[in-house]
Amino acid sequence: MNVVITGSSRGIGFELAKLFLAEGHKVLAISRNEEKLNALKKEGAHILAFDLCEESFVPVIQAVNSLGSVDVLINNAGALVNKPFAELTNEDIKYVYNVNVFSIIKLIRDLMPSFSKNAHIINISSVGGVQGSVKFPGLSAYSSSKGALTILTECLAEEYKETQYSFNTLALGAVQTEMLQEAFPDYKAQVSPHQMATFIYKFAVEDGKLFNGKTVTISSSTP
C-alpha cells in the first residue's frame, strides 16, 4: 500500500512510519523537521519537509504524485497551546486551528484525486475532543479543534458515502509523547508511542475497514 503520514518526525507518527515500512508498504512521511525525517529516509521512506500552515499544498501534491495513488492517509500532525483561555492570542488560535483543522481539510481535498478506490483516511484526534469527556483548563483551543475534526470526519463520510472511501477518527488518550508533556508536564502515561502506533497500524490496514464516519476512543486513563 501507499501510505501518507503527517507529523512523522517524532512520537506516534515516527513509529507508524517505521511499522508501515517494516511491513513493506511505501510511505510518504511529512513533517517540518527534515533532520528527523532523514532517519526514516534511511529506512526507505519518501520524505517531505513541509509546514502544514502553508497556504499552498502544491509540494505535497507533487510528492504524492511521485509516490502514486494514496491507499491510506493518516492525519497525525497536531498542534497544542497550553494557556488559560483569556491569555490565548489570535496567533495561538490561528496556529492550533491551522494545523489541527484547516490543514486537514486542505490535505484531504487536494489529495482526493490521488485516492485509490478503497482509500482509508484516518484523522488522529484526542479524547479531549469528544463530547462529554473530561476537559482540562488551558486546552480550550486544542480540544475544541479536535472536536471540529471529529465532526469533519462525519461530514466527509456522509458526503462520500456513495464511494468506497472510509473516513474515521481515532480519539487518543494519554500517550507518552512530547505533546503530552506540553499539556501535562508531570504526568506519565501508561502507553508508549510504539504501542499506540501498533494499534493504529492494525486499524489502518484491517479493523478500520469495518468502520466509516466513526470516532473510536482509545484510552486507558484520564488524561
Q: What is the CATH number of the domain that holds 114?
A: 3.40.50.720
72 domain-assigned: yes
203 domain-assigned: yes
C-alpha cell at 57: 499544498
115 domain-assigned: yes
Q: What is the mean pLDDT of residues 179-207?
A: 85
22 domain-assigned: yes
Q: Is the dihedral of CA 68, 72, 75, 77 positive or negative?
A: negative
pLDDT at 173 over 90: no
List pLDDT tens digits, range 105-155.
999 999 999 999 999 999 999 999 899 998 989 999 999 999 999 999 999
180 domain-assigned: yes
198: containing domain:
2-218
202 domain-assigned: yes
223 domain-assigned: no
Q: Which of 169, 149, 156, 56 is nearest to 97 (CA)?
A: 149
CB under 8 Å to 126, separation ≥6 — which residues? 78, 142, 143, 146, 171, 172
174: left (phi over 0), alpha (psi -120 to 50) or beta: beta
DSSP string, 24-69: T-EEEEEES-HHHHHHHHTTT-EEEE--TT-S--HHHHHHHHHH-S
Q: What is the mean pLDDT of residues 181-191?
A: 75
33 domain-assigned: yes
- Tally of domains within the chain: 1
pLDDT band of residue 219 (cuts 50, 70, 90) is confident
**Helix/strand/coil for 172:** strand
Element (H, E) at 3: strand 2-6
